Amino acid sequence: MQEEYYFYEPKLGHGLKHDPINAIVGPRAIGWIGTKSSSGTLNLAPYSFFNLFNYRPPIIAFSSLGYKDSLRNVMETGVFTWNLVSRDLAEQMNLSSIEQAVPEFEFAGLTPLDARNVDAPRVGESLVSFECRLTQHLRLQDINETELDTWMVFGEVIGVHIAPSCLVEGVYNTSHAQPVLRGGGAGDYFTITEAAKFVLRRPK
């Protein structure tokens, strides 16, 4: 017989020390989003409500809890970059999440580089960057159709920069960069190494 599971209804509270939701749906890749405001101010911020949602063309999305600067800039300019956070960039990524109005690239000691085909900065230290154009945005709502202060931004990846070290015999090696992945709690993160890899092929 199955042991009794802990059950809760999120609307009524989880009753635990930390909300388990983002520890359960984790670890999540981080959307390190580079944008430029219409007046030319550079912006960089991490978003762990982030993922890849289509293969061809590649479409990624991140979710802004509140109408934050990254979202505002994307809505104004229609473009953004995504930048890979590798293990050695974890501290800088964290610094770039500062909520005060400071220039995040400088504050975190990072180099803004021009992208090729979009007017948004990419992170010079990142091993991979995407250049993205806004395709859709969506305001989330709950089961009562009440609009939430949460916004999803979808972008088509129209350019991909990959450092040569990530390509091993012409194949992109996921673990090489030791991508930083967000878990739950106040500040849990994970990374991956080649030892964690296993291979499964889909049934035919």
Ligand X SMILES: Cc1cc2nc3c(=O)[nH]c(=O)nc-3n(C[C@H](O)[C@H](O)[C@H](O)COP(=O)(O)O)c2cc1C
Encoded one letter per residue, x for contact with ligand X by CB under 6 A and - for no contact, window 159-188 reads -----------------------x------
79 binds ligand X (CB under 6 A): no
79-83/167-168 β-pairing:
unpaired
C-alpha to C-alpha distance for 26 and 19, rounded to whole angstroms? 13
Query: Which span (19-27, 66-74, 76-84, 110-118) binds ligand X, by CB under 6 A?
Result: 66-74
92 binds ligand X (CB under 6 A): no
Encoded one letter per residue, x for contact with ligand X by CB under 6 A and - for no contact, window 98-117 reads xx------------------
C-alpha to C-alpha distance for 54 and 65, rounded to whole angstroms? 22
Instruction: Considering the complex, state which of residue 48 and residue 81 has its C-beta at the smaller distance from ligand X.
Output: 48
Residue 138 CB neighbour total at 10 angstroms: 12
Q: Are 69 and 124 in contact (CB under 8 A)?
A: no
46 binds ligand X (CB under 6 A): yes
C-alpha to C-alpha distance for 131 and 79, rounded to whole angstroms? 8
Tell me, what amino acid is at 119?
D
9 binds ligand X (CB under 6 A): no
Instruction: Considering the complex, state which of residue 171 and residue 186 has its C-beta at the smaller distance from ligand X.
Output: 186
Q: For residue 121, what are its two tokens?
A: 């900065």
Q: How many residues bind ligand X (CB under 6 A)?
A: 18
Q: Are 77 and 119 in contact (CB under 8 A)?
A: yes
Contact residues for ligand X (CB under 6 A)? Answer: 30, 43, 45-49, 63-65, 68-70, 94, 97-99, 182
